[in-house]
Amino acid sequence: MDFKLEIAKLLAVAVPMELEEAFAAIEVPPNTEMGDYAYPCFKLAKVFRKAPPMIAAELMEKLEKPDFIDEIKVQGAYLNFFTNKSVYVSEVLTEVLKKTYDFGKSDIGQGKTIVIDYSSPNIAKPFHVGHLRSTVIGNAIYKIYEALGYQCEGVNHLGDWGTQFGKLIVAYKKWGSKEAVEEGGIQELMRIYVKFHDEAEKEPALDDEARGWFVKMQDGDEEALSLWKWFYDISIKEFERVYQMLGVTFDAYTGESFYNDKMAPVVEELRQKKLLTESEGALIVDLEEEGMPPCLIIRKDGGTLYATRDITAALYRKNKYNFEKCIYLTALDQNLHFAQWFKVIEKMGYDWSKDLIHVPFGLVSLDSGKLSTRHGNVVLMEDLLNQAIAETQKIIQEKNPQLPDKEKVAKQVGIGAVIFNDLYNNRMKDVVFSWEKMLNFDGETGPYVQYTHARACSILKRAQNPLDLEDISYSLLTDDVSVEVCKLLEQYPAKIKDAANKLEPSIVTRHLVDIAQAFNKFYHDNPILSSEDDVKKARLALVYAVKVVLSSGLALLGISSPEQM
Separation CA 412–CA 405 (nearest Å): 11
Helical H runs in 348-478? Answer: 381-399, 406-424, 435-438, 446-462
**Catalytically annotated residue among 85, 125, 318, 411:** 125
Instruction: Please report which helix (H) or strand (E) contains residue 112, including its range.
Output: none
Interstrand relation of 431-432 and 364-365 (parallel, antiparallel or unpaired)? parallel
Q: Where are the alpha helices (DSSP H) in 327-380?
A: 335-347
Catalytic hit among 4, 85, 131, 347: 131
Euclidean distance between CA atoms 123 and 221, whole angstroms: 19
d(CA 497, CA 84) in angstroms, rounded, equals: 26
Please state the length of the chain.
565
Nearest to 352 by CA among 321, 307, 309: 321
The reply to whether 131 belongs to the active site is yes
CA 174 to the chain's CA centroid: 42
Q: Are 84 and 70 in contact (CB under 8 A)?
A: yes
Q: From residue 6, give the alpha-carbon distance in Å to each of 36, 65, 99, 158.
A: 13, 11, 21, 48
Give the separation between CA 562 and CA 451, rounded to whole angstroms: 8
Stretch (H or E) spanning 210: helix 205-218
Candidate list 128, 358, 411, 511, residue with the active-site label: 128
Are the CB atoms for 232 and 160 separated by under 8 Å?
yes
Beta bridge pairs of residue 276: 285
- HSE (side-chain half, CA atoms, 13 Å) at 173: 14
User: Is 125 assigned a catalytic role?
Assistant: yes
Amino acid at 325: K
Which of these, 501, 384, 387, 403, lies nearest to 450 by C-alpha position? 403
- Separation of alpha carbons 218 and 304, rounded Å: 9
Nearest of 403, 390, 509, 381 to residue 449 by alpha carbon: 509
Active site residues: 125, 128, 131
